[in-house]
Structure 1
Amino acid sequence: MEATKASRWMGVTWRVRADDSVSVEETGPGRECPPVLVVAGATAAVSLAVPHAREEWTGCVAFLLRLRDGVEELAETLASRAADPEDCDERR
């Protein structure tokens, strides 16, 4: 797969580990306080926060579904390559 234009200028890389956690955490007591997605590792954490404006949440849902699809694709690719180590060697 070729790098996209966006991935070539991306400034942050997170090297995930099996024990990194992913959770959805509340930011306040009311429905007006949207939850955040938190990915936490041994030395750092990243939070994906959505806008406070409810009218923007639908767009955020669309992004999160694309994110989920990308994560699923990455997981499937890694699982396939882990099952066939020679497949990785052919890509070098």
Structure 2
Amino acid sequence: MAYDIHKERRQRLRKLVRHPQLRELVIEQLKTPWSPEQIAGRLLADGVSAVRVCSETIYRFIYGKEDQALELHQHLAEGRSKRRPPQLEETP
């Protein structure tokens, strides 16, 4: 039961797997010097795709286990092969 729910959620969250044309467009734009934030913004502003994608979805695609073989991280500005954990802000 829990595994079925997990499997359904996993498939539902994977927009770039379910929409191959969108996936190819994102990969193409990553290979140009565009950041995931720029790609997400352009897709929304231009209305290129009926499916909305946020920058976090693109980062998860880049650093996901299934798609690491594509080595898309090398097209990012910092080119890290592993994602850094978010930095917590310290309050005085």
Answer yes or no: same fold by TM over 0.5: no
Report which of the two has the higher share of helix.
2
Report which of the two has the higher share of strand.
1
Q: TM-score, normalised by structure 2?
A: 0.23
Q: TM-score, normalised by structure 1?
A: 0.23
The structure with more radius of gyration? 1
More RCO (CA 8 Å, sep 6+): 2
